[in-house]
Amino acid sequence: MMIESGFFNRMKKLQSIRMLGSGMDLGELNEYAYEICFLLIQNIFLRELRENENRTRDDMLFITEKILKDMDLQCNKEVVERVVDGTLWYREPTKQEGFKTRIYNEATKTKEDYIFRYFKVDREHSHWEQGGSTVYMLTEESQEMIFITREILEEFGFDLEQFYTLQLIKTGNFAKARNSIDNLMARVRVLINREKEYRRDIIRNPQNIFFDRNIRGKKSEDEIKEQFEDEQKVFANMFSWRNRYDALPEDKKREAEIMFENLERARLLHDSLAKHVMENLALELEIRVKYPESFWKISSFSFKKDIWQNHIVKNGLRSIDDLEGIVSTLFSPKTEFIYPLDWAWSEQIVKKKRSARKDLDTTLDVDWKFRETDWDLLVELYEEVFTALLEDGKFSILQLNEKNREEKEKWLSQRENIDIFMMFVISKVTLDIKHTGEDERLKLFKGLCNKKPIIKALHGKKILSKIEDTEETFAWNELFISPYTIYVEE
């Protein structure tokens, strides 16, 4: 069989992957060594990407402990040290040798020694002269492992592609840098088109604000702004290298200029993406504030009527296997997304307004037009809810049925009073007094802790929900809600 040119270089890349995590004595964790070491490299790479200097050996020990904890693996300090030292150095850590293997070279027709490392010293950030610890960064071999598939690039996103481009510019590899810039522009165009489609979708149906969580995940507006600012800094860092190539030969200098021209187009596209994202965030806010009723429309579609009765019973199925495909999705234990708020509201019954009645309910007709949230009132109302969670571990909305007329008027005075309870119902949340994001449940929790410090005991607790098996209902005037109970996870 003929050996193609380049075999030696290909084998070098494969050997660095093959040897990762090998030779470590981790006891029962030996079978996980490869995955743990790769996750360590991946985490250090992300810190390097974000200019985070916390990449010392001690930092690696902490990262490895966290990885093992996330993987639900039990270990001791000795095992953690073996993982870190076994990724930093070959065999004896005290010798700090590089990894060594022998590979067949098709050019010389002999086996040759190949020595490599997964990490090298980051001299720029080590600050030895100030007594600082050694900071590490990825070698080219480790970077190859990260960049070996486009799937990983997609997972990390735009900032990783930027970082890769910056590394190519620093090393003067203009040809590869131009290709990477083309990838940057292609990625940005995809993101711009996604934002345009998202805008059209939420204008047609505002409820897509809850469904299309894959657009930007759960990031707040401030986090998105900070992300764009960080990406702009990387662009500025790239352009800072322009003047350093003035002394190059004319042909190389022209190649660099073409690359920087393409980079400027990528930066302009990135500015356009930021504009589309911020406009969509503003539109979301406007819809939430001015048209909250658009989220509470009750769907007339149901599985029983539209799928089972009107289609399956009426027309039948081509194969019995089709039935499994339909039913299995309903009982799958894996939930792919968080149920949006309007799904919970779709269970509720909103009746048409009736003429004035003489009974108690007529006094509860309240105008629920948008107004600024009264957080003092929210804290007052939810004090008993969180006190029940603290003392009993649970609170049922049916307990509100015991309220008198004046207390009911307070609960119905603004939508947020009931909405926040439904937010607890729809998705689980871990109470965090230090949270600084936009989650209104955690904002409420912080307010309650300030008013009643004993509630701080719930910090770190996870709140879940369930529906009670009871005939009793929660029905106030035009508001009907199923018997939900929120509770603290044991």
Three-state secondary structure of 157-226: CHHHHHHHHHHHHHCCCHHHHHHHHHHHHHHHHHHHHHHHHHHHHHHHCCCHHHHCCCCCCCCCHHHHHH
pLDDT exceeding 90 applies to what percent of the chain? 16
The answer on 470 and 356 residing in a single domain is yes
Single residue among 148, 183, 207 that ends a domain in this structure = 148
Structural domain of 322:
300-336
The answer on 307 and 212 residing in a single domain is no
Whether pLDDT at 379 is above 70? yes
Q: How far apart are CA 225 and CA 230, in angstroms?
A: 9
Lowest mean pLDDT among 4-8, 76-80, 365-369: 365-369
Q: Residue 2 domain-assigned? A: no
Q: Can you read off the two tokens belonging to residue 123?
A: 């001299």
The answer on 451 and 386 residing in a single domain is yes
Whether pLDDT at 476 is above 70? yes
**Residues 48-58 pLDDT 10s:** 766 788 899 99
The predicted pLDDT at position 150 comes to 46
Whether pLDDT at 75 is above 60? yes
Lowest mean pLDDT among 12-26, 217-231, 334-348, 369-383: 334-348
Highest average pLDDT, of 109-118, 223-232, 296-305, comes from 109-118
Whether pLDDT at 272 is above 50? yes
Mean pLDDT of 357-370: 40
The answer on 52 and 79 residing in a single domain is yes
Mean pLDDT of 173-192: 79
* Cα dihedral across residues 353, 358, 360, 366: positive or negative: positive
Lowest mean pLDDT among 94-98, 240-244, 330-334: 330-334
The answer on 130 and 11 residing in a single domain is yes
The predicted pLDDT at position 162 comes to 78
Single residue among 228, 263, 295 that ends a domain in this structure = 295
Whether pLDDT at 288 is above 70? yes
Single residue among 90, 125, 148 that ends a domain in this structure = 148
Whether pLDDT at 349 is above 50? no
The predicted pLDDT at position 101 comes to 92
User: Does pTM surpass 0.75?
Assistant: no
Whether pLDDT at 41 is above 60? yes
The predicted pLDDT at position 367 comes to 42
The answer on 142 and 123 residing in a single domain is yes
The predicted pLDDT at position 65 comes to 92
Q: Can you read off the two tokens belonging to residue 100?
A: 């060594």
The predicted pLDDT at position 171 comes to 76
Q: Check residue 270 and report its DSSP letter.
A: H
Q: How far apart are CA 159 and CA 153, in angstroms?
A: 9
Mean pLDDT of 159-167: 73
Whether pLDDT at 388 is above 60? yes
* Average pLDDT of the chain to the nearest whole number: 78
Q: Can you read off the two tokens belonging to residue 157?
A: 């996103």
The answer on 332 and 351 residing in a single domain is no
The answer on 437 and 408 residing in a single domain is yes
DSSP 3-state of 477: coil
Whether pLDDT at 210 is above 80? no
| Pairing mode, strands 429-430 and 119-121 | unpaired
Q: Residue 256 domain-assigned? A: yes
Assess contact for 296 and 211: CB atoms under 8 A: no
DSSP letters for 341-360: HHHHHHTS--PPPPPP-SSG
The residue to which tokens 């957080």 are assigned: 375
Q: How far apart are CA 441 and CA 314, in angstroms?
A: 46
Task: Give the list of residues 6+ apart from residue 335 with CB closer than 8 angstroms, or none.
Answer: none
Q: How far apart are CA 149 and CA 138, in angstroms?
A: 17
Q: How far apart are CA 103 and CA 170, in angstroms?
A: 30
Q: Can you read off the two tokens belonging to residue 41?
A: 């490299």
The answer on 272 and 174 residing in a single domain is yes
Instruction: List, in sequence order, every residue forming a beta bridge with 394; answer none if it has no partner.
Output: 487
The answer on 367 and 473 residing in a single domain is yes
The predicted pLDDT at position 10 comes to 85
Which has the higher per-residue pLDDT, 457 or 160? 457
The predicted pLDDT at position 208 comes to 67
Lowest mean pLDDT among 25-34, 153-162, 455-464: 153-162
The answer on 477 and 360 residing in a single domain is yes
Q: How many folded domains does the chain comprise?
A: 4
Whether pLDDT at 250 is above 60? yes
List, as own/partner pairs, every contact residues 172-180 make where C-beta atoms lie below 8 angstroms and the sequence separation is at least 24, other chains included: 172/245, 172/252, 174/252, 174/255, 174/256, 174/258, 174/259, 175/255, 177/259, 178/258, 178/259, 178/262
Assess contact for 207 and 242: CB atoms under 8 A: no
Q: Residue 381 domain-assigned? A: yes
Q: Residue 449 domain-assigned? A: yes
Q: Residue 1 domain-assigned? A: no
Lowest mean pLDDT among 201-210, 236-245, 337-346, 378-387: 337-346
Q: How far apart are CA 220 and CA 236, in angstroms?
A: 25
Q: Residue 478 domain-assigned? A: yes
Identify the band that residue 217 occupies on the pLDDT scale cut at 50, 70 and 90. low
What are the helix (H) ranges across 291-374? 314-315, 320-328, 341-346
Mean pLDDT of 315-327: 76
The predicted pLDDT at position 214 comes to 53
The answer on 223 and 207 residing in a single domain is yes
